Structure 1
Amino acid sequence: MSMSMSIKRISEIFPGDPPEALEIRVIKKWRPFTKQQEKMTDICYLLVDSHGDAIEAVVDSNQEEYFQSTISIQSCYTIDKYISIPSRTYMPAIQHRASLRIGKYATIQPLLGKNLPTYYYKFASYKDLPRRMELPKLLTDYIGRIEDVSDIMIRSGKKMRKVIIQDESRNIIEITLWGDKANLIEKRDSMGKILAITSTTVTQFKDKLQLESTTATTTDVNPSIPDLNTYIDRFKNLGETSHHQPREKMITITEVKSIDIADNLQNRYKCVATVIDIQEHRNWYYVICSMCTKKVYPQRNDFVCEDHGLFAEPKFMYCVNTTITDDNTNANAVFFNDSMNELLNISCHDLVITHNNRNPKILPEQISAISGIPLLLYFNFKKDGTIAINKAEKVSAFPPTTPDPKMGSARKARQLATHEDSSGKKSKY
């Protein structure tokens, strides 16, 4: 008579325990962050069992090809002959005393017919976040309603996107998605939906808690979890999403010049202005690597990245340096890629390659044509004080000047005097 295999629960694993068979589903795979890139020697998997408990499994990156043919994301396996070790001491993805070390000695057998969880979330509360900034900097899963999604931007040579969410306690949290993670959420049709995000780091800027993506981060909009409808009902009680209200403050260029940049790097503004000069001594576009967003350099008919070599098709990005005015004050401003795409309705790549405008110091007529046109400009400040324009719309004319309250009072007084004259009473004017 054959005896059934004893299956161990993930929650029962301690460092140094002898291996016992685990029945698991592989949820995701990532390379853990390390401050020394040359020491990125591990690949991590997140495993979950039938009880909903999870553990990290670590394999040597030199054996990535072997495990790529052995382990598939979202597949189920029976795993044995692993080594149980202490969990990572820096940025662990989950709170567990142990993790698994898996090598070629381990046995990994496909497991069919088992209904194991297809996700793993351990959502933190807002009050948990400050502790997550302390060592070991446990990565954070969070859930909230999407309030706003920015366009993709380039900051310090890195691609990024900002997402604003509101949790069920009405806390507003800004999330920064870096690099390829910026592609995980699309702006279109995402506002008002529920976002579950995993494995973020907690940071702080001017006393505001924020979340930033890591290599382990995943996102799911309206995730397929049993509690989804419960969360939707809770967020309905918060009222309309704040993206229905204007998030950018309308100001004048005179006011722009009086702003303390250091205290307002996170704020966004808008103003109506016209371009009165395009600085032709500055390049109107730059070129980046399509894999790492670093600057690339021309090499004969191609471009070369210091990390990824030759590229026949890198990314061309607008960067148009201008002087703008609202008829009262002038200021220097830079139109970045998204704003120029909207104004010209043509990508930088097409303007450079298809229309043969390869010299970055010779302005194409399409760009020169934006001068003198009233524009509604959406912008923020960079650390060096640059006005960075990320969105621009053509408008028919400048908005009317805000009436001076004193002038309004004088007008009312004159109207009152006229009324008194017509009634036969003596006017004091």
Structure 2
Amino acid sequence: MTCQRVRDIKERQKNGIIEIRVLKKWISKGKKEELCYQFVDAYGDGIEATADVMHIEHFDSIIKLESCYKLSGYIAVGAQTYMATVDHPASLVIGQKARFDPAPELSLPTIYFNFATYDMLKRRIKDTRLLTETKKSDVEITLWPEKTHLIGDNVIPGDIVAITSTMVTEHNGRLQLESTYLTNALINPDVPETIDHVNRLKALPIVEPSTRIEPTTTIAVLKLRSQQNAQNFTWKATIKHIHEDRGWCYVLCLKCSNKLYPKQDNDELTFVCKDDDEITPNFRYCVNATIEDTTGNADTVFFNESMQAIVNISRKDMVTKHAETSNPKIVSPLLKSITGTTRLLHLTLKPDGQIVVNSVSPQQPRRNQQAQQQEHQHFLQQHQLPKQ
């Protein structure tokens, strides 16, 4: 069977077997801890893969760093949005169905690079990829404590230092690079892009290093809301705006409660689970919106029960009968129609400042108007909302 190239993998499509070497392994520290891998194929193209960190023992038993495999049974999804380490529009999700067949006979690259020039850094501030500067431009690179050992005293003027997997930031109008948990440094790596430069750059004069700028923060920021407990409120408010870019739904596997991933098979949309073959989709609402009253506004999240109480339509019917597309970032016109409506919302203000709508009442109970205004003012003071 002919194997597929990594560069040809596309989100949602039915993909074939790929031949890869496992280059890196790490655990991401974002909103959700995930077990992450970096793969490269025979053509030097790289792709990221993620797995449930709870199954790390299983994957450690079948995946060895620097080893080559024929991989099948994966799911292709969109690229990582935070600290992506490869230049690829897709990434892989691997679960219990993923099959890693050892292929020691393969001779695959042991390094992945996607070189960048200084002129390319600006547009990568929010699109972090593998970066190495090849022009004579002054770029400050901050290596955080766990990465300071990467560039030692053995580096001499004229050496090429390839810094991988850095994050682009901007300070006082100057572009900077910061290390991430996958950052590595290679001195004069044996790849075609660097071999032609080594001898020429060794003849350049010594450049004095720029002064390192330490990042700063405040105690108040670190302790903000850290000691607060969740608080419940009732608020009569108007739905001002739905944030379409944050999506409005998600789908779970009814058997294992894992996230399901959409797959387009010709004109039919189906869903796949990384662990189970026979699945029943469990459709759920998750709508981010701005709500307001006469005293202020706030961003909030409507989950399944609260949103279904407003639209009186199940999430499954919203997708199969009323949505123009299955794309979770394209909101159904019927869902948009709730904008401008006023409801009595039962809210929870979480310690991290997030506001969640737990339920929605059809009518507001009778109560003293002054007491209602006092409750609004108390809510604004607690959440620091701007007055209109």
TM-score (norm 1): 0.47
- Does residue 1:64 correspond to 2:56, yes or no? yes
* Maintained 8 Å contact 1:27/1:118: yes
State the distance in 2 between where 1:126 and 1:227 align: 15
Structure 1 residue 91: deviation in Å? 2.6
* Maintained 8 Å contact 2:157/2:202: no
- Does residue 1:15 correspond to 2:11, yes or no? yes
- Does residue 1:241 correspond to 2:206, yes or no? yes
Gaps of 5+ in 1: 144-166, 249-263, 268-429
Instruction: Give the corresponding residue for 1:28.
Output: 24
Instruction: Give the corresponding residue for 2:146.
Output: 180
| 1:114 counterpart SS class | coil
* Maintained 8 Å contact 2:142/2:179: yes
Superposed, 1:324-343 pairs within 5 Å as none
State the distance in 2 between where 1:188 and 1:56 align: 32
Letter in 1 for 2:94: I
State the distance in 2 between where 1:33 and 1:133 align: 19
| 1:100 counterpart SS class | strand
Deviations 1:78-130 (A, max 9, x none): 00011111112233222222111111211101112211111110011101111
Deviations 1:357-415 (A, max 9, x none): xxxxxxxxxxxxxxxxxxxxxxxxxxxxxxxxxxxxxxxxxxxxxxxxxxxxxxxxxxx
State the distance in 1 between where 2:155 and 2:174 align: 27
Letter in 1 for 2:153: K
State the distance in 2 between where 1:138 and 1:22 align: 25
* Maintained 8 Å contact 2:161/2:185: yes
Letter in 2 for 1:52: G
2:85 to 74, 88, 93: 93
State the distance in 2 between where 1:110 and 1:73 align: 12
* Residues 173 and 8 of structure 1, relative CA distance in 2, 3 Å threshold: same
State the distance in 1 between where 2:84 and 2:137 align: 25
Indicate the percent of aligned positions where both proteins have the same amino acid.
Answer: 37
State the distance in 2 between where 1:72 and 1:132 align: 31
* Maintained 8 Å contact 1:31/1:216: no
Structure 1 residue 194: deviation in Å? 1.2
| 1:11 counterpart SS class | helix
Letter in 2 for 1:103: G
Q: CA RMSD in A?
A: 2.2
Q: Give 4+ residue runs of structure 1 displaced > 6 Å after superposition.
A: none
| 2:42 counterpart SS class | coil
* Maintained 8 Å contact 1:33/1:214: no
1:140 to 108, 124, 130: 130
Higher relative contact order (CA 8 A, sep 6+): 2
Letter in 2 for 1:226: P
Letter in 2 for 1:26: V
* Residues 45 and 265 of structure 1, relative CA distance in 2, 3 Å threshold: closer
State the distance in 2 between where 1:132 and 1:228 align: 22
Instruction: Give the corresponding residue for 2:224.
Output: none
- Does residue 1:47 correspond to 2:39, yes or no? yes
Q: Which structure would you say has the larger Rg?
A: 1
Structure 1 residue 190: deviation in Å? 4.3
Gaps of 5+ in 2: 215-388
| 2:153 counterpart SS class | coil
State the distance in 2 between where 1:64 and 1:113 align: 26
State the distance in 1 between where 2:51 and 2:213 align: 39
Structure 1 residue 266: deviation in Å? 4.3
Structure 1 residue 50: deviation in Å? 1.0
Aligned residues: 214
TM-score (norm 2): 0.52
State the distance in 2 between where 1:206 and 1:19 align: 45
Structure 1 residue 241: deviation in Å? 2.0
* Residues 49 and 171 of structure 1, relative CA distance in 2, 3 Å threshold: same
